[in-house]
Amino acid sequence: MPQSAGITRRWATLAGLSLAGTAACATSPTEASPVQGVRFRMVETNGIRLRVAEMGTENKSAPLVVLAHGWPESWYSWRHQIPAIAAAGYRVIAPDMRGYGGSDRPAAVEDYDITHTSGDIVGLLDAYGAEKAVLIGHDWGAIVTWNTVLLHPDRFSAMIAMSVPNGGRAAAAPLTAMRAAAGETFQYIVYHNEPGGVAEKEYDSNPRGLLAGLYTSKDTPVDPPALTDPKRSAGGWIPRLGKPKALPSWLTQADLNYFVSQFEHAGFRGGVNYYRNFDRNWQITPQLAGAHIKVPVAFIAGVDDVVIRGAKEDALRTTMSRVADDLRAVKLVPGAGHWVQQEKPQEVNAFVLDFLKGLKT
């Protein structure tokens, strides 16, 4: 069953938020990168350590591009973009965001709010000696990107958001409305916010099952889900996804093994904690009401990405123009879903490089 209802509900909710088996051995933070030419560095930033994948010239005068991944991902989600951007003459860094992979995993939920995650990015600029950088984010990384550029406008020369648009600050904190809308029906963000850490306990018990179930495309053949009762009381998320009969064409077994190993090492709690800060993020950023981004902005997503809910380019441009004063490009990639930079790397790389080239003119 392509793009199961569970997956659709998971991604579709993000669109309205502007603030909204046996696995491989766990990879240690110091293990060599699986991508040729990519180096790892542990960087002190904002009171924690982030493992950063880096590539490109070490000339500090070269422009810095920062890549921020989403959930449930890792720096490895950018494996196709890092070499391409570096080859164009940029310094490229892709951190494991806090809570992921080889980076530190603070215990407190509030340590994953937008103040902390945006502070991590700014701290990376300081660590790499960059007054400004171009920030590119996907999924939760896009939410962090939009808000980091809004909160620290003097530190960024441009930004690209992938998959998650921004139409401005929400009128109210979002979780109450989500809970009311879900009622007794399973909804993954509400599930992530249940007490007792039930979500990460489920995911930690079967990381391969979760990742394989989510890393699919529209045409991925999937077995019927083991759990079809829509009520939350019937169970968690993994049995609702359905087991893929094959990997999508853009994901190799080695790729999946690496992703799984990262979550075996770090667990899922850090990533789930981002979701536990939706209301807090809204509460601590009243200054973003009516705020605008002045630097150049671009947006790219797959045509089949359910986060955008079938929106066309013109509608997305209208929405994001409420926040971005210099929205230079909006592109929807045919044949791609939510994992656009992995599904269609050539198209995404061409879009990114064209945008970066335009910043020089």
Angle between helices 207-214 and 5-12 (to 10 degrees): 80
For the chain, how long is the longest CA-to-CA vector?
A: 57
Whose structure tokens read 């979002």? 174
96 is catalytic: no
Q: What single-letter DSSP state applies at residue 326?
A: E
Q: What single-letter DSSP state applies at residue 231?
A: B
Q: Order the strands of the 64-68 sheet from edge to edge.
A: 39-45, 48-55, 91-95, 64-68, 133-138, 156-162, 293-302, 324-333
Distance CA 169, CA 293 (A): 13
CB atoms within 10 A of CB 128: 19
Alpha carbon 311 to its chain centroid, in Å, reads 20
Please pick, among 111, 113, 120, 139, the residue that the annotation labels catalytic: 139
Distance CA 34, CA 346 (A): 20
Cis bond leading into 72, ω under 30°?
A: yes
Confirm if 100 and 264 have CB atoms less than 8 A apart.
no
Please pick, among 69, 138, 192, 338, the residue that the annotation labels catalytic: 338
Distance CA 92, CA 84 (A): 10
152 is catalytic: no
Torsion angle of C-alpha atoms 345, 351, 355, 356, degrees rounded to 10: 30
Instruction: Identify how many contiguous H helices and E strands the chain contains and give both numbers.
Output: 15, 8
Which residues, other chains included, contact 286 with Cβ-Cβ below 8 Å and sequence gap of 6+? none
Which residues, other chains included, contact 7 with Cβ-Cβ below 8 Å and sequence gap of 6+? 213, 214, 216, 241, 306
CB atoms within 10 A of CB 253: 9
Residues annotated as catalytic (active site), given as ranges:
139, 338
